[in-house]
């Protein structure tokens, strides 16, 4: 529906209607879940500034917060509560809460302890200051705190909030006390932090149970709200959530990695409380806005950190507890990422076996290459005096195999360590590999009295060597936090280190045993603290990789095997490169994308672009990906997307640099994303959003700067800029589109057919920002170039003329818009025919121009013709048909033909619900338009139901600051205005105006429209002086921005003149 005209005495309504009914701020404690039996712990969720006690924790498309829908089933004995408070620091309401942080803390304590409290700082510190037993009980009961994006050292939210309070008295009250705390390096914030740490120390001095603390920080900010250094507390566990600040508290499924991390912390703390026999404690969640590598293992399995369930499976399946039987031979393969602890698990099992079955002989075979395998067999033959071992012509491998298979040899276990190379251990059906060498797998003995334990990084090799027996494959995953802490404590030989510090280090190194052992060795060798080591990790990716590259000594590992984490994976990369070069290329490529949710489309497009002579079949791509999964380097999600381990990503990038191919693969990554990232239009919205992290990742890289790479970069910028425009993120859209235009202008020339669309899109962004003069200059330039190169009747020329007509229409230059519109329509009819989609679009645009001039009959004639043609050619349910029906309904509506308009709009709305879904933006637009029709008929209740539904859905789907959401709020305010509900209208209008000033700028036409509307509301409330002052500012801005003769300017000036006359008469 077109933009509603700026009116003088009637209310101004925006083009899209939708709403949110103002209501009291939900405050205090609300119970989300209570177990049927007595609860063992209270988990209290506390939102941050500008948050809400339920919406903060509710995912998009979810109806209820995840603590209720997901966490309750995971922790069924916990009572789950959420606390709400007035969280706005700069409000659009007439009165904003002036509470200090201490006041909010006191309110939290009152809600928890049912007792009154007042004054400052943090709730936990305040509880310590109180002498009341109820508050002391709270402090003693607190066992853990999870901070989610909490600004311990300040936030950019302070800057954002200050912008809202700048306008001359519009926001009359701002909570400057909290704004001061939010500023970086705030003394008040530092005092709060000192008080918090003092409270923790005093609690420890009183020998109370320690408070567990974990800090989560955002990994994917578009604009950083709380940077990592502000979101963490030194000395405590810090964990990244792969999301932005807004979404890091919202989880849709129990499989979300962020939910798993938070749930894992809460579960661990709850279990520790249960083991300690603690009385019912409190855990609070504060929201936004394997074996040691350097010590012997297996001697005391209650104290080491090996996954006990793996050892129990080995004990059971290898059957060494039973006497020799005639059962078939037993083989088990432990597979997993290099450094995950497979060898140490094998050692742990050996220690246990020697202590429980001393009659079992144990043979250890290093299998990293053919020479090491043969050497191990030769040593077995010599030490066991295998008959024929001293015959130089004898095949030692075969001798040992047959000797072990003899029944009189007794029970034995053979450990084949590091059997990674698929070239050495062929498929069972093969006797020789591709080089003609005999496969080593045929020399592994098979008999009922023996068992074989294999360690491998390659799941495929493990499958081959266990003869495809599924139960014989055991995957080794990363350790749990408690296991990692045990490993670190034993490695450091220091029982005084805080568990929080150990947990933080383990989390940063992703619970990888080899990385933990390496870190322990570095800390001890250099006599530094864990905190210092963490600071070294924080210096950047290069520092991180350098630490992972440090060599160190470790017990139980082959002396020829690299010990450093970075080095231990390089052999796997080399083996993959030799076994399947395509798999190696894919690994190098995906290391340059964002490490999570890598689309399979990227890999397919890469193969199609760079391996097309001859083309590679799908089965080869599947095999290549299978190898990477077999080596545990990548994992595949249910939606077929791939994830890459963070440490693997860093080491792979280092290998790229070492090989000297970083720039080459950077170019291929940029080109690949350019093929896959779609242009930002509505039907591509979901894919654009899903692929955006990969766009951000590759745009940070510098390749060979070839012509192809630059053009690919420009394509990504062009497409992503359109997506930002679709999202209403005008500043990002302008940045991306300007760079795309500049690159294409440099490489292709200013008049190239690919350069002109970039210029046109930039002009469209200017138009959306209300920068009509700049848009007009660019559009005229594009038209003139198209006319000169393609001719005046070319579709591209006509499309650009249509865009210029839109700019004229936005400026109220109806006659110029009409002249262009008629010219475009007639040319389309002559060149393409009357039924061509471009012809129909131009007719629709001309109808819009007539509509804005109040020429309803002419608009109706064109609208009916367009709708009927669409119906005949495309069908009644086609999306273009629905648009034309909605436009015709608007024309009927403006003529007061309510029934005809309603029939069409209801039909459009219901069809869109079926085809697009109830939450699609176009469906919401139809609901919005229908609400507007109800409103103009005085059917307030029906209008309000639809408006509120649309606005709430837009808030969830598009965000609270999205332009369509703000238009919905403006329309709801208009409905309140018409009903004489001035206060409710004012609250919404101030909110809309301030948000538009912050997001669009103070001179954007939508911001000026909000000023006009608010001035009318103040006038209706009798605040004539305020209304005149605001309207004076509005008139001055509209004159400067959109021109003296624009209808908006004329209407505002007329109202201002009338009000001044009334004011003078009253005086």
Query: How do residues 578-605 score in pLDDT, each as one tens digit?
Result: 889 999 999 999 999 998 899 999 999 9
Given this model, what pLDDT does residue 177 score? Answer: 47
What pLDDT, on a 0 to 100 scale, did the predictor assign at position 640? Answer: 87
Q: Above 60 in pLDDT, residue 2?
A: no
The interaxial angle of helices 396-405 and 370-383, nearest 10 deg, is 50
Q: Which residue has the higher pLDDT, 281 or 346?
A: 346
**Average of pLDDT values for 842-851?**
90
Cα 125 to chain centroid distance, Å, stands at 34
Pair 573, 584: CB distance under 8 Å: yes
CATH classification (class only), 958-1067: mainly alpha
CB 561 within 8 A of CB 609: no
Cis peptide before 732 (omega within 30 of 0): no
Confidence of residue 736 (pLDDT cuts 50, 70, 90): very high
> b/e map of 428-463 (b: 16 or more CB within 10 Å)?
eeeeebeeeebbbbebbbebbbbbbbbbbbbbbbbb
State yes or no: pLDDT of 306 exceeds 50.
Answer: no
- Token representation of residue 182: 């939010």
Tell me which residue has tokens 């942080």: 101
Q: Are the C-beta atoms of 387 and 438 separated by less than 8 Å?
A: no
Alpha-carbon span 717 to 695, nearest angstrom: 9
What are the pLDDT digits (tens) for 775-808? 999 999 999 999 999 999 999 999 999 999 999 8
Per residue in 965-993, pLDDT (tens digit) is 888 898 888 888 888 888 999 999 999 99
> Which run of H or of E encompasses 132?
none
Question: Which part of the chain is CATH 1.10.10?
Answer: 580-660
pLDDT at 207: 63
Look up the CATH number of domain 580-660: 1.10.10
**How many Cα atoms within 13 Å fall on the side-chain side of residue 776?**
15
Listed residue (851, 857, 940, 921) closest to 887, CA to CA: 851
Residue 284 pairs in a beta bridge with 44, 145
Lowest mean pLDDT among 27-31, 278-282, 496-500, 515-519: 278-282
The Cα 735–Cα 713 span in angstroms is: 14
* 31-85+100-154+210-286, CATH topology level: Rossmann fold (3.40.50)
Q: What is the 8-class DSSP label of residue 67?
A: I
Going by pLDDT thresholds of 50, 70 and 90, the confidence category of residue 11 is: very low
Q: Where in the chain is the domain with CATH 1.25.40.10?
A: 958-1067
Q: How many other β-carbons are positioned within 10 Å of the β-carbon of residue 110?
A: 17
Range with lowest mean pLDDT among 162-166, 750-754, 1038-1042, 1057-1061: 162-166
Using the predicted structure, report yes or no on whether residue 577 has a pLDDT greater than 50.
yes
Question: Does residue 996 have a pLDDT over 60?
Answer: yes
Length, in residues, of the chain: 1067
Look up the CATH superfamily of 308-475: P-loop containing nucleotide triphosphate hydrolases (3.40.50.300)
**What pTM did the predictor assign?**
0.60
Q: In sequence order, which residues have a C-beta less than 8 Å from that of residue 272 and are 6 or more positions away?
A: 212
Residue span(s) of the chain under CATH 3.40.50.300 come to 308-475
Per-residue pLDDT reduced to its tens digit, 194-238: 666 666 666 666 666 778 888 888 877 444 456 677 777 777 778
Averaged pLDDT for residues 865-884: 92
Percent of the chain exceeding pLDDT 90 equals 29
């Amino acid at each position: 529906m077109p933009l509603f005209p700026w009116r003088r005495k009637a209310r101004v309504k925006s083009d899209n209607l939708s709403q949110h009914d103002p209501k009291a701020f939900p405050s205090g404690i609300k119970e989300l879940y209570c177990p049927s039996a007595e609860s063992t712990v209270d988990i209290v969720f506390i939102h941050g500034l500008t948050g809400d006690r339920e919406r903060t924790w509710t995912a998009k498309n979810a109806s209820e917060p995840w603590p209720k829908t997901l966490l309750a089933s995971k922790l069924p004995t916990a009572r789950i509560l959420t606390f709400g408070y007035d969280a706005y620091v700069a409000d659009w309401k007439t009165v904003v809460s002036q509470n200090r942080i201490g006041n909010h803390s006191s309110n939290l304590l009152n809600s928890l302890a049912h007792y009154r409290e007042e004054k400052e700082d943090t709730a936990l510190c305040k509880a310590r200051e109180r002498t009341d037993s109820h508050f002391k009980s709270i402090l003693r009961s607190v066992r853990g705190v999870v901070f989610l994006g909490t600004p311990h050292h300040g936030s950019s939210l302070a800057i954002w909030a200050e912008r809202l309070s700048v306008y001359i008295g519009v926001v009359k009250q701002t909570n400057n006390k909290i704004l001061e705390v939010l500023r970086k390096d705030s003394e008040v914030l530092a005092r709060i932090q000192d008080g918090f740490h003092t409270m923790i120390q005093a609690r420890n001095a009183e020998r109370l149970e320690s408070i567990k603390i974990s800090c989560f920080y955002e990994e994917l900010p578009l604009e950083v709200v709380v940077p990592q250094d502000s979101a963490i507390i030194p000395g405590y566990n810090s964990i990244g959530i792969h999301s932005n600040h807004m979404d890091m508290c919202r989880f849709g499924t129990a499989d979300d990695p962020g939910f798993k991390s938070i749930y894992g912390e809460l579960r661990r703390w709850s279990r520790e409380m249960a083991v300690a026999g603690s009385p019912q404690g409190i855990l609070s969640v504060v929201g936004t806005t394997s074996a040691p590598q350097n010590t012997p293992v297996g001697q005391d399995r209650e104290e080491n950190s090996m996954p006990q369930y793996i050892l129990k499976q080995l004990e059971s399946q290898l059957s060494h507890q039973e006497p020799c039987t005639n059962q078939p031979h037993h083989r088990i393969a432990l597979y997993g990422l290099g450094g995950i602890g497979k060898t140490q698990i094998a050692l742990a099992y050996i220690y246990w076996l020697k202590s429980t079955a001393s009659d079992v002989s144990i043979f250890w075979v290093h299998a990293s290459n053919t020479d090491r395998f043969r050497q191990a067999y030769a040593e077995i033959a010599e030490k066991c005096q295998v008959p024929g071992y001293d015959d130089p012509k004898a095949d030692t491998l075969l001798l040992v195999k047959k000797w072990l298979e003899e029944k009189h040899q007794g029970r034995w276990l053979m450990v084949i360590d590091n059997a990674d190379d698929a070239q050495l251990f062929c498929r069972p059906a093969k006797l020789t590999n591709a080089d003609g060498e005999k496969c080593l797998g045929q020399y592994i003995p098979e008999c009922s009295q023996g068992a074989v334990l294999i360690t491998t990084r390659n799941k495929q090799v493990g499958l081959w060597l266990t003869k495809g027996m599924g139960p014989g494959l055991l995957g080794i995953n990363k350790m749990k936090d408690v296991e990692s802490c045990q490993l670190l404590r034993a490695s450091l030989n220091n029982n005084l280190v805080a568990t929080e510090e150990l947990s933080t280090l383990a989390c940063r190194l992703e619970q990888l045993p080899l990385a933990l052992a390496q870190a322990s060795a570095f800390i001890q060798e250099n006599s530094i603290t864990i905190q210092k080591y963490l600071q070294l990790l924080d210096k950047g990716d290069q520092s991180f990789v350098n630490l992972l590259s440090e060599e160190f000594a470790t017990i139980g590992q082959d002396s020829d095997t690299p010990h450093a984490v970075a080095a231990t994976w390089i052999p796997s990369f080399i083996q993959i490169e030799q076994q399947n070069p395509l798999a190696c290329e894919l690994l190098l490529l995906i290391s340059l994308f964002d490490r999570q949710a890598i689309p399979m489309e990227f890999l397919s497009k890469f193969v199609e672009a760079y391996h097309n002579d001859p083309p590679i079949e799908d089965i080869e791509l599947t095999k290549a990906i299978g190898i990477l999964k077999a080596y545990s380097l990548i994992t595949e999600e249910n939606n077929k997307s791939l994830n890459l381990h963070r440490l693997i990503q860093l080491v792979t990038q280092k290998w790229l640099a070492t090989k000297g191919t970083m720039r080459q693969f950077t170019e291929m990554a940029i080109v690949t994303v350019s093929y896959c990232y779609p242009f930002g239009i509505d039907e591509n919205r979901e894919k654009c959003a899903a692929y955006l992290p990969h766009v951000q990742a590759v745009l940070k890289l510098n390749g060979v700067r070839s012509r192809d790479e630059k053009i690919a970069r420009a394509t990504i910028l062009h497409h992503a800029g359109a997506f930002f425009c679709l999202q209403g993120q005008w500043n990002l859209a302008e940045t991306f589109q300007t760079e795309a235009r500049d690159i294409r202008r440099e490489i292709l020339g200013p008049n190239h057919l690919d350069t002109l669309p970039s210029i046109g899109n930039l002009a469209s962004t200017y138009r959306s920002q209300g920068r009509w003069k700049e848009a007009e200059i660019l559009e005229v330039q594009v038209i003139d170039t198209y006319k000169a190169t393609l001719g005046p009747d070319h579709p591209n020329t006509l499309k650009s003329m249509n865009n210029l007509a839109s700019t004229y229409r936005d400026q109220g230059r109806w006659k110029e818009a009409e002249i262009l519109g008629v010219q475009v329509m007639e040319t389309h009819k002559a060149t393409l025919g009357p039924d061509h989609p471009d012809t129909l679009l131009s007719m629709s645009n001309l109808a819009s121009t007539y509509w804005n001039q109040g020429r309803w009959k002419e608009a109706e004639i064109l609208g009916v013709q367009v709708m009927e043609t669409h119906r005949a050619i495309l069908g009644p349910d086609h999306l273009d048909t629905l648009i034309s029906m909605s436009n015709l309904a608007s024309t009927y509506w403006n003529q007061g033909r309510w029934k005809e308009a309603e029939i069409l709009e209801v039909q459009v709305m219901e069809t869109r619900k079926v085809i697009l879904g109830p939450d699609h933006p176009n469906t919401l637009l139809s609901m919005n338009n229908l609400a507007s029709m109800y409103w103009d008929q005085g059917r307030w209740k029906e209008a309000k139901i639809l408006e509120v539904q649309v606005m709430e859905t837009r808030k969830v789907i598009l965000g609270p600051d999205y332009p369509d959401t703000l238009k919905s709020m403006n329309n709801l305010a208009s409905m309140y205005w018409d009903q004489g509900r001035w206060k409710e209208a004012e609250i919404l209008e101030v909110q809309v105006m301030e948000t538009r000033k912050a997001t669009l700028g103070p001179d954007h036409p939508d911001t000026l429209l909000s000023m006009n509307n608010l001035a009318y509301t103040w006038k209706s409330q009798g605040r004539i002086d305020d209304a005149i002052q605001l309207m004076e500012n509005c008139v001055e801005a509209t004159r400067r921005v959109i021109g003296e003769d624009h209808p908006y300017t004329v209407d505002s000036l007329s109202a201002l003149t009338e009000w001044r006359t009334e004011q003078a008469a009253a005086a």
